[in-house]
Amino acid sequence: MTEMPSAADIEGWVASMRQELAIGAPAPGGVRTPDQILHELERVDGVAAQAIRVVKEADKVRAATSEALVLARAKTTGRVQGATAAERAAALDLEIAEERVANAAAQIAYRYAKDLADLVDSRKSSLQTQAKLVLATYQLAGLPRRG
């Protein structure tokens, strides 16, 4: 059985993939060639496959930490002491602080991974639009279509 990644692992993967998605601007006065656009689309497709895996792992971590938080709360509720409900609630919060922090980190990592998936979709759409514009330019210029 493989070990579940941590929220920090997921955030690291997402940061790495964001770097892979970075598209440099063409040189001043330059334009992207069809080959450059196709290359960028292939890179984005590769990152898209990774993004799906990362979102899935982030969801697993989020579910596990949420379950651990509920379990810790249930186990601790009967043990906490305090004269008032507010004192008992404060004591309970202190007892399950570690689980709450882990769950919050997992929630953030999941949102971060979902944002990456959205960025991948946006980047892919942008590149597809660029490809269509290049094709239209070739057709208007009367140049033969590539491929």
Tokens of 10: 């997921």
* 39-79 confidence digits (pLDDT tens): 888 889 889 989 999 999 999 999 999 999 999 999 998 88
What's the CA gap between 9 and 107, in Å, rounded?
13
Continuous H helices in the chain: 7-21, 34-77, 85-95, 97-141
Q: Per residue of the chain (147 residues), what is the pLDDT tens digit?
A: 468 899 999 999 999 988 888 777 777 877 777 888 888 888 898 899 899 999 999 999 999 999 999 999 999 988 888 888 899 889 999 999 999 999 999 999 999 999 999 999 998 998 889 888 888 887 888 766 555
CB 109 within 8 A of CB 58: yes
> In residues, how long is the chain?
147
What's the CA gap between 136 and 130, in Å, rounded?
10
Q: What is the pTM of this model?
A: 0.77
